[in-house]
Amino acid sequence: MQAKRKNMERMEEAVVEANEQRLQHMLSDSDWDHRAVLDQVAVEANGWLGGTPDSCFLVDESAFAKKGKHSVGVARQWNGRQGKVDNCQVGVFGALGKGHLATLTDLRLYLPKEWVASPERCRQAGISPPERTLRTKTELALEMVRHQRELGVGFAWVGADGGYGKEPAFLRGLETMGEVFVVDVHKDQPIYVDDPQPQVVADTGGRGRPRRRLQAQTSPQRVDEWVASLAPSAWQRVTLRESTEGRLEVEVAHQRVWLWDGQESQAQHWHLIVRRELGSPETLKYTLSNAAADWPIPRLALMQAQRFWVERAFQEAKSHCGMAEYQARKWRAWHHHMTLVAMSLLFLLEERFAQQDSYPLLSCSDIETLLKTTLPRRDLELEEVIRQMEKRHQKRLDAMEAKYRKQGLPLPNIIGAVNLTK
């Protein structure tokens, strides 16, 4: 937090007695167990946020844009932050939340097919054989939910965005595990207003033995089409919370609907919650939940809104903890870095709890400012500034020389090692 950028080079420039090589060793080569540390983070976070009716486990992913092809897990894949397919790494993260707070407690790096299909590439990236298996993001998310339960972390429901809600396997997996979920879906999600009552019919369209398949007895419709047909009286105003910008209110429509993926023998009868913003009726959010039928609509709406706080956790991780500023290519280094980020977020959370009586509106920015002011920093007199500039300059020269060498070309004469002290 003392450095403007949170990479190792800038940390060495700001932190007293820091050494970039030692920091890089701790991140990339040291064999400390990131899983053991993460588990401890989860246990400690549970003491602050877990075990209440308002506690939730929020699943989300984050992409990290990369230029090259050597960083572990990098491939052309969907980058939600940029809203397009691009060269990036994708991590699946889990956060424990309650009220307006959430902190990361688990994480998994997604390995695309092209990585799993290349044992040599995996070996070079330091991926152990047991990890060289193709697991979907849905499977990784379910692994995290299961693991958090094994640790004893307490939460009342699981939340996720539409990228997971569109996957029937994810919803079925949570249902099978006995988890209550509140999961967003996309506007084209098919729903049944009436029970489809799947029945087995014979498929006689081809030669050979007739196949048996399930067929719905009612017709589905898109969730956005259903919403468009609602009367104005179907919407009710719900207060989500009191905020620094006043009372946050939304309009909510609710319906018990059936969901059927074409495979199950019976359709699922779940809640559909649709939220629209006051003054912006075109801004809609669609959510499914398997909560008990008698759960009140205001509570379901509040649970739906809770997923916002994992986005806030990502924002704080990137703004204050250097989440996206790593210089790590290998499997171990990526997991070490993200684990340290989770530790930092937990520290910020604990500080906010410790100071909540005196400073109930204490922010992560406030804590970072205090740390920058109170922690010792390197003496930035002229001599030290020049030393740092020379080091950065030499690293840039080395990088350029390596690229020219790769092309079989000499370094241009106009570029030389400059001593800034002369």
Tokens of 17: 């007695």
pLDDT at 234: 96
The pLDDT of 47-70, averaged and rounded, is 94
| Side-chain half-sphere CA neighbours of 309 within 13 A | 24
pLDDT (mean) for 239-248? 82
Average pLDDT rounded to a whole number, residues 158-168: 95
Render pLDDT for 312-325 as a digit per residue (tens, 0 to 9). 999 999 999 999 98
In this structure, the strands spanning 211-215 and 199-203 are antiparallel
Three-state secondary structure call for residue 158 = strand
Stronger pLDDT, 245 or 198, i.e. the higher one: 198
- CB–CB of 367/62 below 8 Å? no
Q: Which residues contact 63 (CB under 8 A, 6 or more apart)?
A: 77, 78, 79, 80, 81, 82, 86, 88, 89, 90, 91
Mean pLDDT of the chain, nearest integer:
87
Task: Count CB-CB contacts under 10 A for residue 396.
Answer: 11
Angstrom CA distances, 75 to 269, 398, 417, stand at 38, 27, 36
**What are 324-335's pLDDT values in tens digits?**
988 788 999 999
pLDDT at 24 exceeding the cut of 90: no
Torsion angle (degrees, nearest 10) of CA 294, 295, 300, 301: 80
Cα(77)–Cα(151) distance, integer angstroms: 32
Mean pLDDT, residues 165-178 taken together: 95
**DSSP letters for 330-347:** SHHHHHHHHHHHHHHHHH
- Res. 151 pLDDT band, cuts 50 70 90: very high
The answer to whether the beta carbons of residues 60 and 311 sit under 8 Å apart is yes
Nearest partner of 332 among 116, 33, 106, judged by Cα: 33
Query: What is the pLDDT at residue 243?
Result: 73
pTM value is: 0.84
Reported confidence tier of residue 263, pLDDT bands at 50, 70, 90: confident
Residue 67 predicted with pLDDT over 50: yes
Residue 420 has pLDDT above 50, yes or no: no
- Residue 391, class by beta-carbon neighbours within 10 Å (0-12 exposed, 13-18 middle, 19+ buried)? middle
